[in-house]
Homo-oligomer: A and B are copies of this chain.
Amino acid sequence: MDSSLPQPLAGAVSIDGARLWASLMELAEIGRTPKGGVCRLALSALDAQARRLVVAWGQAEGLRITVDAIGNIFMRRPGRDDSLLPVLTGSHIDTQPTGGKFDGNFGVLAGLEVVRSLNAHSIETEAPIEVVIWTNEEGSRFVPVMMGSGVFANAFSLESAYAARDAAGRSVQEELEAIGFRGSESPGHHPVGAYFEAHIEQGPVLEAAACTIGVVTGVLGLRWYDCTVVGMEAHAGPTPMAARQDALQVALPIMRSVVELALAHSPHGRGTVGSVQVFPNSRNVIPGSVTFSIDLRHAEPETLDAMEGALNRCIEEARRSSGLSITLKEVSAFPPSRFDPECVRLIEKASAKRGYPHMNVVSGAGHDAVYLARVAPAAMVFIPCKDGISHNEIEDARPEHLEAGCNVLLDAILARAGVSGPLR
């Protein structure tokens, strides 16, 4: 469908960066924290308030609103041929407890800004365009993460999502009803022609490379494990070194290997031990057991397999040399996802035509686009964020980068939806 885009169009119409920025700042007032971040947990009263604001903005642009049973919101701008599959764009507006103004919000408001710009320029597209807000991407209050898009892509059932409860015991179903966003549409029965999502990078690569646009070719696969080493707690004083079964000391080389095997698979390998629990965790007691998390990521499933194999060999060696019990339990896994080459090419082409410094990147973090890619051609546009910091109240992004990302989104959507208005 890309060929339907006349060459002169790219860059011929642009979005309004100031309007985008103003909307981002207005939305960030809802749940604003003293440090300038945002705390707007999924399905909270603040989430409802933010949803109503964005829906009102959509209605002001003439968009038709539908809500599905997991609370995903679709705001539709009709196409000239409204029977064509719609081009969807969006992200999420729930945040981490100590979240920023841009994570997710940028993708939703960039989609809205594309519509506002098309309206302002009276541009009609062949296919419809829909701006979507996915429910509970962050997973801070209810697990799993990416809940709305996950149910939409049938990665797990609506019933299991409904049953998830927060720390206070409230369920997703109760809270969806309480805030008035449990819709009637059956999730996944909503047609999608293609999906584009704009997002801040949440990492330092673009900033370090002085690139304005990251053309996201895919998302790293990840495997999460819990590793537990069981030794024997004993007094730190009377127990000679040779008589010890120190669980922490046996765990150390495994923790180190997690990073080493990621380094061995540069540049897309990632290895992190983020969480450590020592028992009994007392200054003068030799650790009796240690449990720690392992997070492995890579772009290729075969390499993830190889990394897991190397991890298991390291554990086997530790088991053999220490005689201690060591278990490795897989907690979660996402296969690597590769975005649709044609959608990716549209983003790359738009970046080039606009003259934005750009590079191909692989996302290290999961996004709603990962699930959407299971049901439709999909791709993502990244823009830099300051120092690569996200999920933090000091998360920041530059207005000119947000504007550039939104322009690339506009071009890609127009190319995919096809233009039938005055620009044709």
Q: Give A contacts to B, CB under 8 Å.
A: 201-205, 208, 220, 222, 224, 234-243, 246, 248-249, 252, 255-256, 259, 262-263, 266-267, 269-276, 278, 281-287, 293, 295, 297, 331, 363-366, 388-391
Contact = CB atoms under 8 A, between A and B. Distances in A.
A295 B208 CA distance: 42
A222 B388 CA distance: 44
Given A259-B249, A278-B275, A295-B284, A270 B234 contact: no
Nearest to A276: B278
Contacts of A220: 237
A156 to B, nearest CB: 19
A52 B391 CA distance: 60
Contacts of A287: 273-274
Contact of A256 (B249, B270, B274, B295): B249
B297 A364 contact: no
Given A256-B249, A276-B278, A278-B276, A283 B224 contact: yes
B276 A281 contact: yes
A240 B205 contact: yes
Contact of A240 (B240, B243, B267, B331): B267
A205 B255 CA distance: 31
B266 A237 contact: no
Q: How many copies does the complex hold?
A: 2
Contacts of A239: 203-204, 270, 364, 388
A215 to B, nearest CB: 15
Contact of A243 (B208, B246, B259, B273): B208
B240 A203 contact: yes
A274 B282 contact: yes
Contact of A236 (B238, B243, B295): B295
Contacts of A202: 235, 237-238
Contacts of A256: 249, 252
Nearest to A283: B293
Contacts of A286: 272, 274
Given A204-B234, A248-B276, A275-B283, 7 more contacts: A203-B239, A220-B237, A237-B365, A273-B287, A276-B281, A283-B331, A285-B391
Contacts of A238: 201-205, 363-365, 388, 390
Question: 4 smallest A-B Cβ distances: which pairs?
Answer: A203-B238, A237-B364, A238-B364, A236-B272
Contacts of A390: 235, 238
A274 B283 contact: yes
A289 to B, nearest CB: 12
A246 B236 CA distance: 28
A216 to B, nearest CB: 11
A297 B236 CA distance: 9
Most buried by B among A201, A237, A285, A331: A237
Contacts of A204: 234, 238-240, 243
A192 to B, nearest CB: 25
Given A222-B237, A270-B237, A275-B278, A283 B259 contact: no
A26 to B, nearest CB: 27
Given A252-B255, A273-B248, A363 B237 contact: yes
A149 B269 CA distance: 57
Contacts of A203: 234-235, 237-240, 243
